[in-house]
Structure 1
């Protein structure tokens, strides 16, 4: 949440707390009124009933597609139901999500491995979506001794079939799943220590910052810059590492030294990254990359097979539930078209109220009051205006009642980068906002889209190319002309 503009004042809006409150308190009224709102001739087979597959079935069903989920296990929920510990999320929330999917008309077939793509298409399915997750185990290489895979550990922990793990549990890896395993181990009776071992330091662990903090709060120990070598006689022998030059990931490489260290270890858990089950795809003629990922169109997630898509962890490798849902929405848009929703007028943020909130402090009170802290930057942002020390970004009123537009004034900008650093949209306003130039030389030396007023009703204009146009002669986009006229008529002091 580092891009929430409220964070520039005190701390970001607690959006997840607010969404959780809405989901819990609004479910009963929502489920009664929920039904498909569109029509579609698409008949879609979704292979896998985890978060990605459930989300795809919901989005497609919402727009009238006929959807069938094929799930080989007894219940929907995938890794969230079977692997993520109950102290993170309980079955109650997952069951509610299943009901939302059912409300959109999805047919659910559990304990049912999916037929081949060829067979599904012969049954009349027009589209097939792979949402099979990333369940293939990563392998921890050791000179001697064996490790337990993290998915096996967490699944056995959750269904309470885990045997004696001893007193000292070590988890190798630095991702979110490693944090879950280490936190779960701390809750097992008899465990004295639960330790994360990672080859880089904590700063470069791929786990979310919040997950690291939760693990620390639970008493998990972190041993950095160590690479496991062998497991013997209740000890994990590790080689000490140091940070080297950046590797292909952009992080410093882990460089092994000659120094060795021994840690007490009764159970070693490998959490070094799960992979996609390649056989699911190769058996269906779907192309894979050299690294075993699925070849897919970046915009639609369609695979090498026409009308066959891949989403979630099967597409990305181990990722988050939010990313799985994003993939599902992308594929649903590709199959049945974008979903549109009309926001009632009385629910829209008022521009005046948004501006009044800017510059005022409002610390967090409770999830139900976060709308009072939200600056509604999707309605009025203007961060680039507020943070520019030279006032080179100006909010321009183009027409009465419309949202103000940002004008960048080239001669006032020293390219300090403030607007880029603070922009919540990963933009560089000093390069991307429509720019006013004071001289023709400035115009010619820049690549920014913008204009220079020549006089006599003419402007030199750069959009896709450079041209000289006459105002009022229908020689440019009417909205661009309206913007330029507003600058000339109402903001002439900038010229």
Structure 2
């Protein structure tokens, strides 16, 4: 049943008349937000008040026909609900009401008890901006919107036309009393299950009369000015920007909000309705392309997706060098066809014509150009920090990375790719020095327990990012050592254990707890861990089981899988070999096995694989190192049977492989059964792939497996059929490289953070990180450093095959700096100036002084009382522009 007086009140606040064409109806958000908590009797009181006119109960009582006492009770109830402010003025409680937004709706949503009881309040607040927002498009001049972005202050320190009303400090210094409260927008999104991972707690600062009201109604806690400045600083550090309610008059406000573009209901105006003028500051971002290195930090932190990565190399055909909007609400009729309704899930990191291939090709999308530039300037710790935004293990990856970035490096089409991995290795050496290492700060302290199952690269990566976010992380590892296949699957001559341990030590310093020798599913169950208070799980146990070929003789005592062989060696077991060692397989693990076998006895090592030399999955440099160590590689031969005598393998019969893949590209080897040979063997190592050993980990769970024994999980969120269990790394993708596993560890951390916090979506506001490279065939490189690629000293195969020490060198500092000069600096940030709201967040993330705010507009705030004539003038001007544009289109 409709509360008629409450509906009257909704119309009264909206300055509408019942029965008019534009009246507020019972289905409108203005009524819906009041309906659960405002009675007709309360409404009767407010109907005798006027917007922003301060009154006392004594003044209102005779108008509404109630006693002063009852009127006071009702007004205090309304203040607690959030419909009106209350302040004590000259010793008397004084009341007034504000606009719907900013005002009544935020204050009603800030009453968390009511919102919890009546979620309709939050839903109505969200609906108000969505329903009413389109009518504002183009009709508010710059600086006159209901909310206004205030630039991050140090982003405008160098401005010659500075104005105090653009500075956060002005508002904090103008006031004496402050509170901080939870963000009403984020409360709303949380109630709707649409949180974006930016949490609501202690986000919005109130000042002056608003702070007094928030203290009185227990909406916020009182803080000092110094604490307010600290909240501002922390918000900026965490990628948030500032807005103020903008109807108090020129240079005045009663609150500062710390906002994100994915939850803020005001920034939605800029994002969804492409109506940035409604909220923007007087500034826009400008990029100095000569300084920009396309690191992407500004792009990923822009709250309105006004920045994207593009290219700065010259091209034969046109590419996107700036984003120009043909249509804007300033001079165009604006409807749903112009909106971006899915702005919270479809943000773009890269313009359509692409960006740097190195960042694109890296599975973790590390800012390669960025850390190369920092290294060239000797800023090694900052380079480490930039790498560690995506990869906690730069020293490890500097030694074993597949170098996909180098494979796609634009410079490689001219002479040779930039030695990206060698540069990274040089930078990462700093991290091995306890005096220089980079340890990130913990952002928060959530005091929630998360379990990571598996201490390999993916699990450790997830643990790292969760710890930085502020969670209590415990890593469970069934082996007695950490590192997974980094430790147990890779020989020390490629990755020394000291390197792994040094980088794991940083995780320990972040407060991560490690429990080794514990197999989840055997020693403890998922349910038991839930009972112990763990809120979510990341399963990353890797593909640590060896695979066999299902051929005759493979059960002989001297036949071993490559995975088992490497594990035994890395655990220090004595596996001294003699005679002929035959390794079956053509991947990196097979190469590692062969090279290891040469080091542990008087052996002659031969490798056999079904692939041709060009088809071998092992990296070329790995193959070359094996050949230098006198390992014989025999291509296009597949094992038919193992010849066994008295339980011991004596040889292998091979058959000629004539093709590995069928016409559709699927693995489907074909053999010439007439072309065979027998090879003598004293030890046979089967290195033909890796399997997943689940043990009893998934027992009694809903988690499902695919036909290849990998786990079924969402490929974006990594969530399994058990809502609190996420999975990644090799158990999700099958065996891949460490950097692939590391990238998934970060994505899992993002999902887990969202899962364990109430009302957060795993998808909304999430950066999909969909990168694509520029067209290298279209570029014109006009000038570049002709220097040859720098190389470390050649490793003597005769020496290397006799030691487990990693004899590969690192570039000298001089070499490293020479090599950094070879980078063509392919990418640069591209700006959509219309969409940019001038918050300055981008400037805080740039380490290269490549992006700045410049003053473009001179818009000033207007008090609510003076707003109507300004809007009418703007509406008329816009109509003229819209008409003129239509005429130009007709007559060309």
The equivalent residue for 1:213 is 624
Distance 1:160 1:247, change over 3 A: farther
Deviations 1:62-119 (A, max 9, x none): 1111111112222211221123111011111111111111122211112223332222
Given that 1:47 and 1:128 are in contact with CA atoms closer than 8 Å, whether structure 2 keeps it comes out as yes
SS of 2:690's equivalent?
Answer: coil
1:227 maps to 638
CA contact (8 A) 1:200 1:242 kept: no
Change (3 A) 1:259 1:325: same
Aligned residue pairs, count? 382
Shift of 1:57: 0.8
What is the CA–CA distance in structure 1 between the aligned matches of 2:884 and 2:609, rounded to whole Å? Answer: 62
CA shift digits 1:377-436 (9 cap, x unpaired): 2327xxxxxxxxxxxxxxx99879x9xxxxxxxxxxxxxxxxxxxxxxxxxxxxxxxxxx
SS at match of 1:379: strand
Cα 1:397–1:177 shift into 2, 3 Å = closer
**How many Å apart are 1:42 and its aligned residue?**
4.3
For residue 505 of structure 2, give the secondary structure of its aligned residue in structure 1. helix
- 1:154 aligned onto 2:566: yes
2 CA distance for matches of 1:357 and 1:368? 22
- Structure-1 separation of matches of 2:613 and 2:585: 11
- CA drift of 1:236 comes to 1.5
Change (3 A) 1:369 1:125: farther
* 2:784–2:824 CA contact under 8 A, matched in 1: no
Return 161-170 or 239-248, whichever deviates more.
Answer: 239-248
Question: Is the partner of 2:627 in helix, strand or coil?
Answer: helix
Which residue number in structure 2 is paired with residue 323 of structure 1?
A: 740
Kindly state the Cα deviation for residue 252 of structure 1 after the two structures are TM-superposed.
6.8
| Cα displacement (A) at 1:376 | 2.4
The answer on whether the counterparts of 1:242 and 1:257 sit within 8 Å (CA) in structure 2 is no
Partner of 1:362: 787
Bigger mean CA deviation after superposition, 360-369 or 46-55 = 360-369
Mapping of 1:36-435 within 5 angstroms? 36-40=442-446, 42-114=448-520, 115-144=524-553, 146=556, 147-191=559-603, 193-228=604-639, 229-232=641-644, 234-243=650-659, 246=662, 249-250=665-666, 253-283=669-699, 284-336=701-753, 358-365=783-790, 366-379=815-828
Aligned-partner SS, 1:54: helix
Q: 2-side partners of 1:294 and 1:264: how far apart?
A: 40
Question: Per the alignment, in what secondary structure is the counterpart of residue 373 of structure 1?
Answer: coil
Contact residue 452 and residue 476 of structure 2 kept, 8 A: yes
Which secondary structure does the structure 2 equivalent of 1:203 belong to? coil
| Greater displacement, 179-188 / 106-115 | 106-115
> How far is 1:250 from its partner?
4.1
Kindly provide the CA deviation profile for residues 164-209 of structure 1, in whole angstroms up to 9, marking residues without a partner as x: 4321111111111111001111223311x21111123222222222
Which secondary structure state, in structure 1, belongs to the residue aligned with residue 654 of structure 2? Answer: strand
- 1:310/1:32 Cα in 2 relative to 1: closer, same or farther (>3 Å)? closer
Partner SS for 2:545: coil
Q: Distance in 1 between matches of 2:789 and 2:660?
A: 41
Stretch deviating more after TM superposition (331-340 or 170-179): 331-340
Secondary structure, in 3 states, of the residue corresponding to 1:361? coil
Question: Is the 1:44–1:125 contact (alpha carbons within 8 Å) kept by the matching residues of 2?
Answer: yes
Superposed CA deviations along residues 125-171 of structure 1, whole A, max 9, x for unmatched, are 11101111112321123323532111221123334434443211111
* Partner SS state of residue 428, structure 2: helix
Retained in 2: the 8 A contact 1:173–1:196?
yes
| 1:84/1:471 CA distance change after superposition, 3 Å | farther
Q: Check the 8 A contact 2:657/2:669 in 1, yes or no.
A: no
TM-score, length-scaled by structure 1: 0.69
Go from structure 1 to structure 2 and tell me whether the alpha carbon gap of 1:334 and 1:370 turns closer, same or farther (over 3 Å shift).
Answer: farther
For residues 185-240 of structure 1, the C-alpha deviation after alignment (integer angstroms, 9 at most, x for no partner) is 1223311x211111232222222222222222222211122221222463221122
Q: Which residue of 1 aligns with 2:215?
A: none
Spell out, residue by residue over 1:451-487, the C-alpha distance to the aligned partner (whole angstroms, 9 max, x if none).
xxxxxxxxxxxxxxxxxxx9964999xxxxxxxxxxx
Distance 1:139 1:39 in 2: 47
After TM superposition, the structure 1 = structure 2 runs for residues 6-21 of structure 1, keeping only pairs within 5 Å, are 6-21=411-426
**What secondary structure, in the 3-state scheme, does the structure 2 residue paired with 1:60 have?**
helix
- Asked which structure has the greater CA Rg, the reply is 2
What is the distance in 1 between the residues matched to 2:734 and 2:706?
13
Give SS of 1:202's match: coil
Give, in whole Å, the separation in 2 of the partners of 1:335 and 1:475: 53
Task: Describe the superposition over 1:338-367 as per-residue Cα deviations: whole angstroms up to 9, x where unpaired.
Answer: 999xxxxxxxxxxxxxx9984442322323
Flag structure 2 segments of 5+ consecutive residues without an equivalent: 1-405, 755-764, 768-779, 791-814, 837-878
Q: CA deviation at 1:15?
A: 1.3
Q: Which has the higher contact order (CA 8 A, sep 6+)?
A: 2
Secondary structure of 1:52 counterpart: helix
Aligned-pair distance for 1:11?
1.2
TM-fit CA distance, 1:39 = 4.3
| Structure 1 gaps, min length 5 | 341-354, 381-395, 403-469, 477-487, 489-494
Partner Cα separation in structure 2 for residue 209 and residue 473 of structure 1:
62
CA 286–245 in structure 1, closer or farther in 2 if over 3 Å, else same: closer
